[in-house]
Chain A
Amino acid sequence: MITYLAKRFFEMIPTLFGITLVSFLILQLAPGKPTDVLTEMNPKITPEARERLEKLYGLDKPMMVQYGMWLKRVVKLDFGNSFSTDRRPVLEKIWDTKQALIDRRLFITFFINLLSMILIFIVAIPIGISSATHQHSLFDKITTVFVFIGFAMPTFWFALLLMMLFGIHLDWLPISGFKSMNYESLTLSGQIWDRTRHLILPVFISAFGGLAGVSRYMRGSMLEVIRQDYITTARAKGLSETAVIYKHALRNALLTIITLLGLSVPGLIGGSVIFENIFGIPGMGQLFYMGVMTRDYPLVMGILTIGAMLTLLGNLLADIGYMIADPRIRAK
């Protein structure tokens, strides 16, 4: 089992390498340069001044040389300095050790995604099970419609509707941001409550779209499992329906969900870009968006690399989860 895990772990390295190479090339192929913000259509910039700036950023070198330079720094875990005018280290932007943990961008994104993932599982798994055990019932039909509405609804639009309802008409929740103006003057419990209020809408929004996938997969795999012979056997033994479903069937049905868990990481990071911009939440997704807009290569590459690492880590965790849940894999 240890060798299996070690093998999986070392397989990740070339994958990561490949991901960074492809990301780097695509980024360079996108039209525009980091210096455009300062130079395009600015009558005060002479062609010579433009060249000077490009040289300063190392953009005059061939693409592969630039990638090589980037890679050399990254193996030492140095993502370089951002190309934006502040020239701060990329790592400091993503994980600013001068800030409280809760205000570090990577932590914010990770935390919100974790909460929304927990919410998705808490809601979607019971929905999936009930839909399967009461297949074609009214409940099954209603939840199907409900989760698909959530799946189909554009996030940004739904978010605005909720902001109008809870932020303006009812005035229950803040509209945007991650803390209130008077946050510093609050007591600890007040601060926790303040953060919670700011988190309710973003977490709900990011979870809402994910309900459909997980609940449908759960329903599907549950339906498959309860038709198996061993379930009939369990019932024949005279076990209660609860024990049959939640003890014997659920364990096997969950295998699909574990796979889903590992695969959902990139989607969650992508989703963060959207809801962090709408809600003005200072996470990694918002930083990524700003980086792409200004062609801040080191920043975008840094975030893509971290995203790739998290994805691969998610896959590894899914594998481990699989081993725990499925003795057949453990035996191999």
Chain B
Amino acid sequence: MKHLHLMLLSLTIALFITSPQPVLSSEISDQPAYGDALITGSIGEPSVLIPMLAGDSASHDVAGLVFNGLVKYDTDLSIIGDLAESWDISQDGLVITFHLRKDVKWTDGVEFTAEDVMFGYKTIINEKTPTPYKEDYLQVKKAEVLDRYTFRVTYEKPFAPALSSWGNLVVLPKHLLEGKDITKSDLVRNPIGMGPYILKKWTSGQDVTLGPNKNYFEGRPYINEYVYKIIPDPATMFLELQAGGIDMMGLTPIQYTKQTNTTFFKENFQKFRYPVFSYTYMGFNLKHPWFKDMRVRQAIAYAIDKDELVDVVLFGLGSPATGPYVPNTWAYNPNVKKYDYDLTRAKQLLKEAGWEDTDGDGWLEKGGKKFEFSVLSNMGNRSREQTATIIQYRLKKIGIKMNIRVLEWSTFINEFIDKRRFETVILGWSIGIDPDQYDIWHSSKTREKEFNFVSFNNKEVDALLETGRRTFDMEKRKKAYYRIQEILADEVPYIFLYVPDATPIVSSRFKGIKPATIGISYNLPKWHVPKNLQKHMMEQ
């Protein structure tokens, strides 16, 4: 899940962060100037620049600057208009009507209209379009173009995540793509969008260069060139950063805490830190006779020191998790049962469940069987392996023997997760910005290849998940998700371990960066370099 984890994460974020936020008055002293280039390092190369066809984060990063959606996420993760000026949702939550902006043109000069959205929608639900993002749009019963600037969709059932799905996945230039096979179109590598940047040059294996869209509807971006430089080796990338070859990259915890703590870095760079939309957890196979008992799961939760995991595994760059949401987002419930490190409580719970060290060998037994189980994780993810080792050490203190098995990713998923051949696992989820987690917790989602592989089954949670996704009323949704988190905390199907932080570094000549819950790159078009600090001179 290593790659996927990161990929889905930046993907969910990239989908909606495509356009700038208004500059606050306090920032005006920075005197924005046009010009200069921002060179960012990336391990992977984009492969397609049409958002609905892309599966990797590099493609979404770049395509996100070329295409906008009807809606996007604001800095506090609420949904605001982008290409849609406003929208109405019918009383019963079944019909959404989008009112589009009238001043938007594709970069080839053709006007953007509701027909383009309709075309995008029809393309994404088309059988022949190889896209992993179909599902949300298959829920749509009817889509209509009411007039040039009005687009309406009708759903079978109210579907709360529906609104956010109208991001940049479904906006395509109809006049360029109609009647063509989208996968073979020139636009795949040479997209025409309406976003803040235009593709200027793409040299395979080396870099992708974007230039400013001078007619961008929210104002021309300040930085004149955005270069996405491909450097496959992370160590090389860090050297390039020091040598001035790139201006921006994501740091590893050790680079963030140790290697960039020199005067050189303090003078020339600015570091940022914010929670990533993902978490790492230890999941129990709830069908296993030992782990069926809630007391056993709670005991193990008490025996794990989450702060220690954050300090050691993440070098302190993260926070302990209490549920499946990121702290400080609207769905996150801070007041759920927390399992602070407490060995006495853990031992007591195990005793209640019948586990005791009867023969005095230091390990617990029940019915003559020693408490010994294995935890599975995937190869190549060092932080998960380290987490497992620390938990192993902690569980030994309460007399439980945990063995660690690290497996190659595909084998792990196909042979163990899908066939339910595991006792416990250490894995991670990247989470979408919308709090709907129906696929992970609903008791109907336990078939092979589905995602409730721990077999969690709770009628109240099932009902709450339905409520949460079937209403647009934020208060009702919040209440439902708060309650779900309480139940998950009490029943412990997963032990939620930690939420890691993203730690990007940017050259200090770039001004106007305003970190928010959503990250830093959401207002990229508003970043700027004061005239006297500009490094790359070029024609405007």
A39, A86, A88, A283: most-surrounded residue (chain B CB, <10 A): A86
Give the segment of B172-180, B182-190, B358-366 that binds chain A.
B182-190
Q: How far is the CA of A160 from the CA of B448 in the complex (A)?
A: 45
Instruction: Say yes or no: is B53 at the interface (Cβ < 8 Å to chain A).
Output: yes
Are A176 and B127 within 8 A (Cβ)?
no
Instruction: Say yes or no: is A239 at the interface (Cβ < 8 Å to chain B).
Output: no
Residues of chain B lying within 8 A (CB to CB) of residue A160: 235-236, 239
Are B39 and A181 within 8 A (Cβ)?
yes
Residues of chain B lying within 8 A (CB to CB) of residue A88: 189
Are B411 and A31 within 8 A (Cβ)?
yes
Are A45 and B132 within 8 A (Cβ)?
yes
Are B411 and A85 within 8 A (Cβ)?
no
Instruction: Say yes or no: is A195 at the interface (Cβ < 8 Å to chain B).
Output: no
A40 to chain B, nearest CB (A): 6
Given A52-B127, A167-B239, A171-B243 in contact, is the A85-B232 Cβ separation under 8 Å? no
**Closest residue of B by beta carbon distance from A84:** B47
How would residues 168 to 210 of chain A score, 1 for a CB under 8 Å from any chain B CB and 0 otherwise? 1001001111110100000000000000000000000000000
Given A163-B239, A175-B239, A280-B230 in contact, is the A85-B410 Cβ separation under 8 Å? no
Are B236 and A85 within 8 A (Cβ)?
no
Are A41 and B451 within 8 A (Cβ)?
yes
Residues of chain A lying within 8 A (CB to CB) of residue B229: 177, 280
Give the segment of A69-77, A224-232, A285-293 that binds chain B.
A285-293
Are A87 and B245 within 8 A (Cβ)?
no
Q: How far is the CA of A39 from the CA of B8 in the complex (A)?
A: 11
A154 to chain B, nearest CB (A): 12
B56, B243, B414, B439: the one within 8 Å of A43 (CB): B439
B299 to chain A, nearest CB (A): 29
Q: How far is the CA of A204 from the CA of B456 in the complex (A)?
A: 57
Instruction: Say yes or no: is B59 at the interface (Cβ < 8 Å to chain A).
Output: yes
**Closest residue of A by beta carbon distance from B453:** A41
Are A175 and B206 within 8 A (Cβ)?
no
Instruction: Say yes or no: is B48 at the interface (Cβ < 8 Å to chain A).
Output: yes
How would residues 278 to 316 of chain B score, 1 for a CB under 8 Å from any chain A CB and 0 otherwise? 000000000000000000000000000000000000000
Are A176 and B536 within 8 A (Cβ)?
no
Residues of chain B lying within 8 A (CB to CB) of residue A103: 203-204
Are A164 and B239 within 8 A (Cβ)?
yes
Instruction: Say yes or no: is A16 at the interface (Cβ < 8 Å to chain B).
Output: no
Given A174-B245, A280-B236 in contact, is the A86-B205 Cβ separation under 8 Å? no
Are A279 and B236 within 8 A (Cβ)?
yes
Instruction: Say yes or no: is B501 at the interface (Cβ < 8 Å to chain A).
Output: no
Are A36 and B245 within 8 A (Cβ)?
no
Give residues 82-104 of A contacting B (CB, 8 Å): 84-88, 93, 96, 99, 103
Given A32-B409, A164-B239 in contact, is the A277-B233 Cβ separation under 8 Å? yes
Are A278 and B132 within 8 A (Cβ)?
no
Instruction: Say yes or no: is B336 at the interface (Cβ < 8 Å to chain A).
Output: no
Are A280 and B233 within 8 A (Cβ)?
yes
Are B204 and A99 within 8 A (Cβ)?
yes
Are A168 and B227 within 8 A (Cβ)?
no
**Closest residue of B by beta carbon distance from A293:** B3
Are A286 and B205 within 8 A (Cβ)?
yes
Q: How far is the CA of A32 from the CA of B413 in the complex (A)?
A: 10
B231 to chain A, nearest CB (A): 4
Instruction: Say yes or no: is A53 at the interface (Cβ < 8 Å to chain B).
Output: yes
Residues of chain B lying within 8 A (CB to CB) of residue A93: 204
Instruction: Say yes or no: is A37 at the interface (Cβ < 8 Å to chain B).
Output: yes
**Closest residue of A by beta carbon distance from B409:** A32
A235 to chain B, nearest CB (A): 53
Are B239 and A47 within 8 A (Cβ)?
no
Q: How far is the CA of A175 from the CA of B238 in the complex (A)?
A: 10
Residues of chain A lying within 8 A (CB to CB) of residue B44: 290
Given A31-B411, A56-B130, A103-B203 in contact, is the A49-B135 Cβ separation under 8 Å? yes
How would residues 257 to 283 of chain A score, 1 for a CB under 8 Å from any chain B CB and 0 otherwise? 000000000000000000001111111
Instruction: Say yes or no: is B516 at the interface (Cβ < 8 Å to chain A).
Output: no
How would residues 409 to 440 of chain B score, 1 for a CB under 8 Å from any chain A CB and 0 otherwise? 11101100000000000000100000001011
Are A175 and B56 within 8 A (Cβ)?
no
**Closest residue of B by beta carbon distance from A31:** B410
Are A289 and B56 within 8 A (Cβ)?
no
Residues of chain A lying within 8 A (CB to CB) of residue B439: 43-44
Given A31-B410, A177-B206 in contact, is the A168-B233 Cβ separation under 8 Å? no
Q: How far is the CA of A174 from the CA of B239 in the complex (A)?
A: 10
Instruction: Say yes or no: is B450 at the interface (Cβ < 8 Å to chain A).
Output: yes
Instruction: Say yes or no: is B504 at the interface (Cβ < 8 Å to chain A).
Output: no
Are B408 and A31 within 8 A (Cβ)?
yes
Given A171-B243, A176-B240 in contact, is the A37-B55 Cβ separation under 8 Å? yes
Given A36-B410, A47-B449 in contact, is the A86-B132 Cβ separation under 8 Å? no
Are B135 and A46 within 8 A (Cβ)?
yes
Instruction: Say yes or no: is A216 at the interface (Cβ < 8 Å to chain B).
Output: no
Residues of chain A lying within 8 A (CB to CB) of residue B37: 181
Instruction: Say yes or no: is B54 at the interface (Cβ < 8 Å to chain A).
Output: yes
**Closest residue of B by beta carbon distance from A160:** B235
Are B232 and A87 within 8 A (Cβ)?
no
**Closest residue of B by beta carbon distance from A47:** B449
**Closest residue of B by beta carbon distance from A51:** B449
Instruction: Say yes or no: is A64 at the interface (Cβ < 8 Å to chain B).
Output: no
Residues of chain A lying within 8 A (CB to CB) of residue B135: 44-46, 49
**Closest residue of A by beta carbon distance from B11:** A42
Residues of chain B lying within 8 A (CB to CB) of residue A42: 4, 8, 132
Give residues 127-147 of B contacting A (CB, 8 Å): 127-128, 130, 132-136
B485 to chain A, nearest CB (A): 18
B45, B240, B447: the one within 8 Å of A47 (CB): B447
Instruction: Say yes or no: is B242 at the interface (Cβ < 8 Å to chain A).
Output: yes
Are B133 and A176 within 8 A (Cβ)?
no
A87, A105, A171: the one within 8 Å of B205 (CB): A105
Give residues 29-66 of B contacting A (CB, 8 Å): 37, 39, 44-45, 47-48, 53-56, 59
Instruction: Say yes or no: is A38 at the interface (Cβ < 8 Å to chain B).
Output: yes
Instruction: Say yes or no: is A50 at the interface (Cβ < 8 Å to chain B).
Output: yes
Residues of chain A lying within 8 A (CB to CB) of residue B447: 47
Q: How far is the CA of A40 from the CA of B3 in the complex (A)?
A: 11
Instruction: Say yes or no: is B520 at the interface (Cβ < 8 Å to chain A).
Output: no
A43, A163, A168, A177: the one within 8 Å of B440 (CB): A43
Q: How far is the CA of A283 from the CA of B84 in the complex (A)?
A: 43
How would residues 79 to 94 of chain B score, 1 for a CB under 8 Å from any chain A CB and 0 otherwise? 0000000000000000
Instruction: Say yes or no: is B487 at the interface (Cβ < 8 Å to chain A).
Output: no
Instruction: Say yes or no: is B153 at the interface (Cβ < 8 Å to chain A).
Output: no
Are A31 and B243 within 8 A (Cβ)?
no
29 A-B pairs whose Cβ atoms sit less than 8 Å apart in the complex: A31-B408, A31-B410, A37-B3, A40-B409, A40-B410, A40-B413, A43-B439, A44-B132, A45-B135, A46-B135, A47-B447, A47-B449, A49-B134, A50-B449, A85-B47, A85-B54, A86-B189, A87-B183, A88-B189, A99-B203, A160-B235, A168-B239, A168-B243, A176-B239, A181-B536, A277-B233, A280-B236, A281-B205, A289-B232
What are the 9 A-B residue pairs with the smallest beta carbon separation, nearest first? Answer: A282-B205, A31-B410, A32-B410, A43-B439, A38-B132, A86-B47, A38-B55, A280-B231, A277-B232
If A277-B232, A282-B205 are given as contacts, then 9 extra A-B residue pairs at C-beta distance below 8 Å, sorted by A number, are: A38-B132, A40-B409, A43-B437, A49-B135, A85-B54, A85-B130, A163-B236, A167-B239, A281-B205
Contact residues of A with B, CB < 8 Å? Answer: 31-33, 36-47, 49-50, 52-53, 56, 84-88, 93, 96, 99, 103, 105, 156, 160, 163-164, 167-168, 171, 174-179, 181, 277-283, 286-287, 289-290
